[in-house]
Amino acid sequence: MAKSDLQGTLDLLVLKTLAHNGALHGYGIVLHIQNASNDLLSVEEGSLYPALHRMEQNSWIDAEWALTETNRRAKYYKLTAKGRKQLQQAEESFDQLVKGVRAVMRYA
Distances (CA, A) of 13 to 18, 25, 84, 94, 105: 9, 14, 13, 11, 23
| Residue with Cβ nearer other proteins (58 or 88) | 58
Smallest gap from residue 16 Cβ to other proteins (A): 20
Which of 45, 85, 93, 101 touches other proteins (CB under 8 A)? 45
What residue type is assigned to position 42 of the chain?
A: S
The CA-CA-CA angle for residues 101, 102, 108, to 5°, reads 90
- Judged by CB under 8 A, the stretch of 32-40, 67-75, 84-92, 98-106 that binds other proteins is 67-75
According to the binding rule CB under 8 A, does residue 58 interact with other proteins? yes
SS3 103: helix
Helix (H, G, I), strand (E, B) or coil at 78: strand
- Binding flag, residue 49, other proteins (CB under 8 A): yes
Q: Interface residues with other proteins (CB under 8 A)?
A: 25-28, 31, 44-46, 49-54, 56-59, 68, 70, 72-75
